[in-house]
């Protein structure tokens, strides 16, 4: 079953909202009362400690000064009582009110001092609790009435003289839980409505660029490579980057398709010429010159040469395919690059002399490098053959090797040709590219693309330096 991103996003937002509300509800109904109980005990412990400190500071004398000091740190909702060693109540500071389970209802006319109504101080429950505190020295516990109202208590028998009991009522926690629980239902309903609205807005914002990309992709499959995606307005986020990358990809595909068309046209023309020559000479040998050994040998040599041309074209395409898709693994070895350059110069010297040109080597005799020797030799052959193709008679092609700082080695091939325009230099190493000056010459447009792939596989820097009328220098650093 197909599920849209819109539905997934809506489900995700609803799940998040529901989880948050569930956590709030769980915290309120399950953890709130225990946590509040612990916090109340901590608060009572603090009040008890401060009361003891007040007595210590006054040398155990309980008077109005001590009571005034105690009233400063006793908060609303807390009951504090002090009795003597016999259990007779002395002081009552009633902050709970009528709900106090130790002292009953509050007499609003009474004052919180040592003259407090003894009837409220000495209730049966209060006296029982005082005996428990005196017997144990300290006490921590709670009381529950017939209505399940809970009152938390802490007590301490100070210096065998005073019994101090502090308490607070937890009945209001049940009301808080009930209020929050009732409000959660309303909050849940509002949250679901808000989640649906937010998911609708966000999904539209989120899906729009994806739908635009899907539509553009379909156009690409139809052959419309000029399609472009408008970058979404706003910050430079991943969607903007995706749109830019797609437009770049479409432009590259369009450029590649154009180059492939040119390649097919060029190769078709280049293949047609040698095939026509081979067919013509083969028919001539069969029908006319078969009995003439001299002419027959000349025509057979021409057929062989044209066959070699065809083989080189096919090999170039296959070699580029292997290099570009990683099928050809590098065989890194250490060797003398100077020897290789001198050998390449010797190989092309005879051809150059026949054309009135020279190939020379300039550099040291021993320069060791680490690389795939056969592939680097392929690069040198490409550079030198191209240089001879564009170098006029009575000039030279120079192969140079320089050792740079840091141990790197720079290899270059320089010709004396017409130079290359800046526009052509930008595309020289692109596959299938042939400059206007090379359009009438033999080749597939893959030679320098193969060089580029070899250099990038090695991680070597490479490039061309050229100026119209001053020749060109192709180089790489290894």
Which tens digits make up the pLDDT trace of 11-48?
Answer: 777 788 788 877 877 776 777 778 888 888 898 999 99
CATH number, domain at 401? Answer: 3.30.565.10
Query: Cα 220–317–419 angle (5° rounding)?
Result: 95
Res 292 pLDDT > 80: no
Res 368 pLDDT > 60: yes
Res 255 pLDDT > 90: no
pLDDT-derived band of residue 270, with 50, 70 and 90 as boundaries?
low
For the residues 131-154, what does the mean pLDDT come to?
88
Task: Specify whether 348 is located in the same domain as 301.
Answer: no
* Residue 231 falls inside a structural domain: no
Task: Specify whether 319 is located in the same domain as 338.
Answer: no
For the residues 173-187, what does the mean pLDDT come to?
73
The residue ranking higher by pLDDT, 263 or 253, is: 253
How far is CA 166 from each of CA 109, 324, 402, rounded to the nearest angstrom?
A: 22, 85, 94
Task: Specify whether 302 is located in the same domain as 400.
Answer: no
> 292-301, 312-321, 419-428, 438-447 — which one is most confidently predicted on average?
419-428
Sign of CA dihedral 111, 114, 115, 120: positive
Res 115 pLDDT > 70: no
pLDDT-derived band of residue 290, with 50, 70 and 90 as boundaries?
low
pLDDT given at position 425: 79
Task: Specify whether 319 is located in the same domain as 344.
Answer: no
Task: Specify whether 341 is located in the same domain as 272.
Answer: no
Q: What is the number of domains present in the chain?
A: 3
* Residue 229 falls inside a structural domain: no
Task: Specify whether 268 is located in the same domain as 405.
Answer: no
CATH number, domain at 97? Answer: 3.30.450
pLDDT-derived band of residue 321, with 50, 70 and 90 as boundaries?
low
> 89-93, 155-159, 418-422 — which one is most confidently predicted on average?
155-159
pLDDT-derived band of residue 110, with 50, 70 and 90 as boundaries?
very low
Domain that includes residue 447, residue range:
332-477
Task: Specify whether 134 is located in the same domain as 282.
Answer: no
* Residue 232 falls inside a structural domain: no
Task: Specify whether 388 is located in the same domain as 432.
Answer: yes
* Residue 200 falls inside a structural domain: no
For the residues 206-224, what does the mean pLDDT come to?
78
Task: Specify whether 467 is located in the same domain as 420.
Answer: yes
Cβ-based neighbours of 96, under 8 Å, separated by 6 or more = 77, 78, 79, 151, 167, 168, 169
pLDDT-derived band of residue 418, with 50, 70 and 90 as boundaries?
confident
* Residue 343 falls inside a structural domain: yes
pLDDT given at position 158: 93
* Residue 426 falls inside a structural domain: yes
Among candidate residues 276, 74, 435, the one with its CA nearest the CA of residue 91: 74
The residue ranking higher by pLDDT, 228 or 404, is: 404
Res 103 pLDDT > 90: no
The CA distance from 463 to 428, in Å, is 9
- Encode the chain in three state secondary structure: CCCCHHHHHHHHHHHHHHHHHHHHHHHHHHHHHHHHHHHHHHHHHHHHHHHHHHHHHCCCCCCHHHHHHHHCCCCCCEEEEEEECCCCEEEEEECCCCCCCCCCCCCCCCCCCCCCCHHHHCCHHHHHHHHHHHHHCEEEEEEECCCCCEEEEEEEEECCCEEEEEEEECHHHHHHHHHHHHHHHHHHHHHHHHHHHHHHHHHHHHHHHHHHHHHHHHHHHCCCCCCCCCCCCCCCCHHHHHHHHHHHHHHHHHHHHHHHHHHHHHHHHHHHHHHHHHHHHHHHHHHHHCCCHHHHHHHHHHHHHHHHHHHHHHHHHHHHHHHHCCCCCCCEEEEEHHHHHHHHHHHHHHHHHHCCCEEEEECCCCCEEEEEHHHHHHHHHHHHHHHHHHCCCCCEEEEEEEECCCCCEEEEEECCCCCCCHHHHCCCCCCCCCCHHHCCCCCCCCHHHHHHHHHHHHCCEEEEEECCCCCEEEEEEC
Task: Specify whether 106 is located in the same domain as 46.
Answer: yes
Token pair in block for residue 181: 């629980």
For the residues 429-456, what does the mean pLDDT come to?
67
Res 1 pLDDT > 50: no
| CB 274 within 8 Å of CB 306 | yes
For the residues 413-436, what does the mean pLDDT come to?
76
pLDDT given at position 287: 67
* Residue 205 falls inside a structural domain: no
Task: Specify whether 417 is located in the same domain as 370.
Answer: yes
How far is CA 235 from each of CA 125, 200, 248, 430, rounded to the nearest angstrom?
A: 71, 21, 20, 34
Among candidate residues 256, 308, 266, the one with its CA nearest the CA of residue 434: 266
pLDDT given at position 259: 63
Domain end, chosen from 324, 355, 382, is at 324
Give me the chain's average pLDDT, please. Answer: 79
pLDDT given at position 453: 84
* Residue 151 falls inside a structural domain: yes
CATH number, domain at 255? Answer: 1.10.287.130
Domain end, chosen from 129, 157, 175, is at 175
Task: Specify whether 340 is located in the same domain as 390.
Answer: yes
Domain end, chosen from 298, 324, 350, is at 324
For the residues 226-237, what does the mean pLDDT come to?
70
């Amino acid at each position: 079953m197909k599920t849209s991103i819109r539905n997934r996003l809506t489900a995700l937002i609803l799940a998040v909202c529901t989880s948050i509300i569930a956590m709030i509800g769980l915290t309120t109904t399950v953890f709130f009362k225990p946590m509040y109980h612990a916090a109340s005990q901590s608060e009572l412990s603090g009040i008890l400690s401060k009361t003891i400190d007040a007595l210590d500071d006054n040398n155990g004398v309980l008077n109005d000064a001590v009571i005034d000091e105690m009233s400063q740190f006793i908060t609303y909702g807390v009951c504090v009582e002090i009795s003597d060693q016999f259990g007779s109540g002395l002081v009552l500071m009633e902050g709970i009110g009528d709900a106090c389970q130790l002292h009953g209802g509050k007499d609003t006319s009474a004052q919180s001092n040592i003259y407090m109504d003894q009837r409220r101080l000495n209730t049966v429950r209060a006296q029982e609790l005082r005996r428990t505190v005196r017997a144990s020295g300290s006490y921590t516990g709670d009381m529950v009435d017939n209505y399940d109202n809970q009152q938390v208590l802490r007590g301490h028998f100070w210096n065998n003289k005073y019994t101090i009991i502090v308490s607070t009522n937890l009945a209001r926690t049940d009301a808080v839980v009930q209020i929050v629980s009732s409000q959660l239902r309303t909050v849940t309903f509002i949250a679901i409505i808000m989640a649906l609205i937010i998911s609708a807005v966000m999904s539209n914002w989120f899906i729009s660029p994806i739908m635009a990309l899907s539509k553009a992709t379909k156009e690409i499959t139809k052959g419309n490579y000029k399609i472009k995606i408008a970058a979404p307005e706003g910050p430079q986020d991943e969607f903007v980057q995706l749109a830019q990358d797609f437009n770049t990809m479409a432009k590259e595909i369009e450029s590649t398709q154009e180059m492939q068309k040119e390649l097919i046209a060029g190769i078709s023309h280049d293949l047609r010429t040698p095939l026509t020559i081979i067919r013509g000479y083969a028919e001539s040998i069969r029908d006319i010159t078969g009995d003439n050994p001299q002419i027959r040998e000349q025509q057979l040599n021409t057929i062989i040469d044209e066959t070699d041309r065809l083989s080189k074209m096919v090999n170039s395409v296959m070699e580029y395919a292997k290099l570009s898709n990683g099928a050809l693994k590098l065989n890194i070895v250490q060797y003398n690059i100077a020897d290789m350059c001198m050998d390449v110069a010797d190989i092309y010297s005879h051809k150059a002399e026949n054309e009135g040109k020279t190939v020379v080597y300039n550099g040291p005799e021993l320069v060791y490098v680490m690389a795939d020797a056969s592939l680097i030799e392929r690069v040198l052959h490409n550079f030198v053959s191209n240089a001879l193709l564009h170098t006029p008679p009575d000039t030279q092609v120079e192969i140079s090797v320089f050792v740079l700082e840091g141990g790197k080695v720079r290899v270059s091939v320089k010709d004396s040709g017409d130079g290359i325009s800046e526009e052509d230099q930008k595309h020289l190493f692109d596959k299938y590219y042939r400059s206007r000056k090379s359009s009438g010459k033999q080749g597939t447009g893959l030679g320098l693309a193969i060089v580029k792939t070899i250099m990038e596989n090695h991680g070597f820097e490479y490039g061309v330096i050229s100026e119209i009328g001053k020749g060109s220098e192709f180089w790489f650093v290894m």
